[in-house]
Amino acid sequence: MTNTAENIIAPAPLDVAAIKADFPILGETVYGKPLTFLDSAASAQKPAAVIDAERDLFEHYYANIHRGVYKFSQDATEAYEQTRETVKAFINARRSRECIFVRGATEGINLVAQTWGRANLQEGDEIILSELEHHSNIVPWQMVAEEKGAKIKVIPLLDDGSVDMETYASLLSDRTKMVAVAHISNSIGTHLPVAEIIRIAHAAGAKVLIDGCQAAPHEKIDVQALDADFYAFSAHKVYGPTGIGVIYGKEELLDAMPPWQGGGDMISTVTFEKTTYNDLPHKFEAGTPNISGGIAMRHALEYVSAIGFDRIAAHEADLRDYATEQLVGSNSVRLIGTAEGKGAIISFVMESAHPHDIGTILDRQGIAVRAGHHCAQPVMDRFNIPGTVRASFGIYNDRTDVDRLIAGLKKVVDIFG
């Protein structure tokens, strides 16, 4: 049956009250005001299931993993490796060995830059980034480019904050070896057309790394459908713990890459004459890992998956649109980044007040937003501003949170004019 406006069934709305009840911290008050948390793009809050998973490990079966023959070690190892299977399903990787555990997306991007980059880049080769990138997807490539004599090219932004795809296509050449871009901009919320970016890059013979930090909490990720060569995300933005994340890579690429760090677990044999390395994924996981974080990450991914990404996307799009309507109607606010289909992020400036002052005034109202350049200084330079105020939404936000933000901004106007 052909889809029409009449027969498309909208996803069931989220029960935000029930979701809020799953997050203990959301019952806290700030300066006597109810907490309005609008900074999930920096780090999302944690549901009780995640908190309980870490506590359960430390109270009942903690031990180092992959090495012990006793029960606690075997139980901890099994729980930790169950997470890898969950990650495989979460991003639809072909095999779990393609999912490397790292401290977060930053370490994952550095791993690819320092291993794949050192092995494959030569003098005169080119790396393409977008003007939207977080510093963690700029600096690692600058470091390896300087070392290897490679050149970085940048996809410019259009005035609405979208990437200039026509210019992107013109930047590619037979010297392009890597294209590294965000799935969704952390600073202004632009949703990049990553499937098209990957297709064009592959046609030119280049590999592609996607920084998926801002996409993983909000939409279903399918690395096979995207045909991404590498995909990175951090657990703490997907309602999980800090200090743990994933770098996915196609198996044939990971197999060919040298290890990045040496130590325990990443080896098969060690002598003073020669060391042989372990198989994937352990080749890239030297030393004792974040065991509790790895185990708890599974519970975070299962939590959001159980809610359903179609429902999450519809709910957050409603919040984004509702907040945009309120702010567009204000003469005192200017939105930065208005591209169609953007993520659940609203970034704005007010002519009368610095972003840090705005953030401080909102904080006294119990409203947590991010103020500054958001580790994306080139974006701020593009729009000739020092920074923005960023409100970012999660599954536990509702229109009441937007209303509180708007009321808080009226207080900013009262103070600064």
Tokens of 154: 């940048």
Beta bridge partners of 315: none
Residues labelled as active-site residues:
375
Residue 262 near residue 278, CB atoms below 8 Å: no
**Cis omega before residue 241 (within 30°)?**
no
CA 379 and chain centroid, separation: 17
Q: Positive or negative, the Cα torsion across 173, 175, 177, 178?
A: negative
Cα separation of the two ends of the chain:
56
- Residue partners of 385: CB distance under 8 A and separation at least 6: 336, 349
Between CA 127 and CA 112 the distance in angstroms is 13
Q: Which of 417, 397, 414 has its CA nearest to residue 26?
A: 397
Region for 93 from its dihedrals, namely left if φ exceeds 0, alpha if ψ lies in -120 to 50, beta otherwise: beta
3-state class (DSSP) for residue 137: helix
